[in-house]
Amino acid sequence: MADQSIPQTRTPEKAVNDGVSESASKEGLSRRRLLGTAGATGLVLGAAGGAVGYAARPAEATPLTSLGAEEVMFHGKHQPGILQGLQARGHLVAFDLAAGAGRKGAAALLRRWSETARRLMAGEAMASDDTDVARDAGPSSLTIAFGFGHSFFARTGLEKQRPVALDPLPDFSSDRLDKARSNGDLWVQIGADDALVAFHALRAIQKDAGGAAKVRWQMNGFNRSPGATAHPMTARNLMGQIDGTRNPKPTESDFDRRIFVPSSGDPAWMANGSYAVVRRIRMLLDDWEQLSVKAQEQVIGRRKADGAPLTGGSETTAMDLEKTDAKGDLVVPLNAHARITRPDQNGGAAMLRRPWSFHDGIDTDGVPDAGLLFVCWQADPLRGFVPVQRKLDRGDALSRYIRHESSGLFAVPGGAAEGEYVGQGLLEG
């Protein structure tokens, strides 16, 4: 978990009225047009002769808030779900192409997926056979992005188009990877600010796959809901830490160079795309929570309360790596996670982190299966993720309290233009 700030949560604006007309109601409305509005059943309490009676009364219609109405465009320079802020609910799913699907089958699948993504992100229903799971909701910032794994290119006869940057990640000594939950031919990232909207998209993508591809693995994640804090702030992870404070920002002059493949990049079909590293990192919470707050702060190198470096200041204050205490010891230990992951300690290596937390139940011995679905984006993983992870692998104090259980690397091409589908330049080029 690198010391780079996660995109901040959003604070919802005041509620807005969608202004649904009577004629539109008769025709049947899309989710985007607010077919159903959120409401609550009122509870009326009364006392008579010592008895308490409960009477339900219908609540007045509540207009869709700006949180539910927020829409992310499917078409654009980059695929959705990279630059947007953190979303409350996420699903990561990898597919393997069916035997014989080949390039033609893959192209048809990406065409279907892209059209479904476009419709759902606009708050519309699927073109056919919609499940109605999200019928009453707005778009809720839904994003759907697609990527290709290393194995995809051999299955489709496109080995010559496989990017060098997609070469398998090196082995790390701390890895305990489950191959069945790693890699895959195709990868889909789904995010939304409403759980039903996100699930609806997941189900739609799975149904669209039909006989062309089958699910290899699927993971569910969550973040703090936008507006849950008094003001936008960097999120906390399941260890209670403010998780990262140095994410690259789009306002920085070299942001695009570090995160996206240039328009003149090689191969051409990856122009304006990015590479996603996906890691399921289990947190050993029982061990972590036995540490005192001071000990936890020594492991991370930052204060738990506000994310400020142990050398003082606020969350965004630069860390003084040379500062010592009265005994002459470094205030930020040499093996502190925040020290090791600093870009200026890794040759400028940078990655845009956009993860989710996960909790998949409690084991029979009472240990929570919980942690971080780590997703990071970079123009080249050999210059982004790999050098940082190698340093962490050699002596990160946090490594005692986490376990990398699955891994994947995916080439995520640039966004689709109007009338095109994601990956068209690869599959029809």
Residues assigned a catalytic role? 243
Query: How buried is 128 (Cβ within 10 angstroms: 0-12 exposed, 13-18 middle, 19+ buried)?
Result: exposed
3-state secondary structure 6-55: CCCCCCCCCCCCCCCCHHHHHHCCCHHHCCCCECCCEEEEEEECCEEEEE
SS3 220: strand
What are 155's two structure tokens? Answer: 């299955």
Question: CB within 8 A of 152, min separation 6: which ones?
Answer: 97, 106, 158, 185, 186
Contact 218, 278 (CB under 8 A): no
What CA–CA distance (Å, rounded) separates 383 from 347?
A: 9
Backbone angles phi, psi at 399, to 5 degrees: -60, -25
Q: CA-CA-CA-CA torsion for 103, 107, 110, 115, nearest 10 degrees? A: -170
CA 269 to chain centre: 23
